[in-house]
Amino acid sequence: MMDGTCCGPGYASPAEAIKAPREKLLYTIAIYTGTGIQKPDYLATVDADPDSPTYSQVIHRLEMPGIGDELHHMGWNACSSCHDDAGMSRKYLLVPGVRSNNIHIIDTATDPHAPRLHKIIDGAEIKSRTNLSGPHTVHCLGSEIIISFLGDAQGEAPGGYLHLNKEFEIVGRWENSMGDIPFGYDFWYQPRHNVMVSSEWAAPNTFMPGFDLEEVGHLKYGRRLHIWDFEKREPVESMYLGEDGLIPLEVKFLHNPDSTHGFCGAALSTNVIHFWKSGAGKWEWEKVIDVENEPHPEWPIPVPGVMSAILVSMDDRYLYLNNWLHGDMRQYDISDPHNPKLTGQVFMGGLLGKAPEVNGVKIAGGPQMFQLSLDGKRLYVTTSLFSTWDNQFYPEIRTQGGVMVLIDCDVENGGMKINENFIVDFGKEPNGPSRCHETRYPGGDCTSDIWL
């Protein structure tokens, strides 16, 4: 996927990435964990080329060797942070199982249409050598890789960070200290500012069985963001978000490597937190988007949106967010990061009954993970959050399976519209209904590249 834009993997700048060729293949995680079907989770290859006869279909399935991995998030071995390294290529996708702790190294370059298993880093070895479990976010670190883990070997918080070299060998723990950080989850770094920001979910032993609202009151779920000294590999400051930041999950800096502005979606509060470094060198934060809870006839309390993911377009103009329980995807203009403006909204699934069918498919679940094309015009959205949470809030997803939907995005004026020619129904998979989660493209995407 070089296309003359660079000598190594990735792109020289976000502006160069926007000019990249259109994505023609998608890799998405598909899971049987939690469905009752005793089959391995798998990596599904989806045809995203509108000129292809198999457009909008799963064209390949790479099964994992074991059952019950709960594949969740994944990331590349290399990204634009090693753009100048001609010896590196964006060839391998690291696909961890959050329950098994196994990290599957998938070769997507030999045959991009039919990825193959290259290597497995054994979860038991990770536990024994690093005292870590519950792998989550994968980021390329130049030619090396760091992965956030949510727990220790016993499934208790705070976990830490696994450091792998480019041969996918365990170096050890990446961080020199976790400080007094209570929980881990997502992270993003801006090397030009020597900063990393990490967020909080909960201990694996807390979230894996399902969601219990009382445990939020018992402080078993996070409500902080953490500022790290990236070179020293240690946290230096925490921002306590309180009720505005209950369960602060996905954290994203702007793509511009000179910027210190970033955003975090607080899932349970259903707020977007904006953070930045002030002129005086102090880290600040503010709530910039607040999604109101909605009444529901079968709920004793108003239903929160549950904003489980956010994403920033490559040109740093738009922020996208989901409300998993409400069922809507939203687009905000963040040209002024202090004052986001709502510019688009579509419904797909959800508990509010506003989108019973999309392109002929009745959606179980709501918009959850999503990936944006590099040019910002196409947003691919899937519907599964986490197996036990899916079963709790959307029990029908067990028999109906997940769905991938394509939303066309107006990058000039703002606006969103569901594409009527694209739908991938994972309820019709050969081994029975599965659920789809995170998506990546062979040439990189809007949620993995970091510039030095």
Q: What pLDDT does 91 receive?
A: 93
pLDDT digits (tens, 9 = 90+) for 132-174: 999 999 999 888 999 999 999 999 999 999 999 999 999 999 9
pLDDT in tens, 257-301: 999 999 999 999 999 999 999 999 999 999 999 999 999 999 999
pTM over 0.75: yes
What is the β-pairing status of strands 248-253 and 262-266? antiparallel
Identity of residue 94? L
Q: What is the fold, at CATH topology level, of the domain defined by 14-440? A: Methylamine Dehydrogenase; Chain H (2.130.10)
Q: C-alpha angle with apex 411: 138 to 287, nearest 5 degrees?
A: 60
Residue 95 in tokens? 């696909």
3-state class (DSSP) for residue 421? strand
Please provide the DSSP assignment of 355-416 as one string: -SEETTEEPPS----EEE-TTS-EEEEE----HHHHHHH-TTHHHH--EEEEEEE-TTT--E
Please write the tens of the pLDDT for every residue from 404-445.
999 999 999 999 999 999 999 999 999 999 999 999 998 888
Q: How far is CA 369 from CA 138, 320, 438, in A?
A: 15, 11, 6
Cis peptide leading into 367, omega within 30 of 0?
no
Half-sphere exposure of 5 (CA within 13 A, CB side): 20
CB 240 within 8 A of CB 226: no
Residue 9 confidence (pLDDT): 82
The amino acid sitting at 381 is: V
Phi, psi of 123, rounded to the nearest 5 degrees: -60, -35
What distance in Å separates the CA atoms of residue 414 and residue 233, rounded to the nearest whole number? 39
What are 90-124's pLDDT values in tens digits? 999 999 999 999 999 999 999 999 999 999 999 99
Q: Do the beta carbons of residue 333 and residue 318 sit within 8 Å?
A: yes
Q: Is 122 exposed, middle or buried (0-12, 13-18, 19+ CB in 10 A)?
A: middle
- How far from the centroid of its chain's Cα atoms is residue 148's Cα? 12
Q: What dihedral do alpha carbons 26, 27, 28, 31 form, nearest 10°?
A: 150
Q: Average pLDDT of 189-202?
A: 97
DSSP 292: P
Taking the CA atoms of the chain, what radius of gyration do you get in angstroms?
20
Domain locations in the chain?
A: 14-440
Question: Computed from CA positions of residues 202, 208, 214, 215, in that sequence, does the dihedral angle turn out positive or negative?
Answer: negative
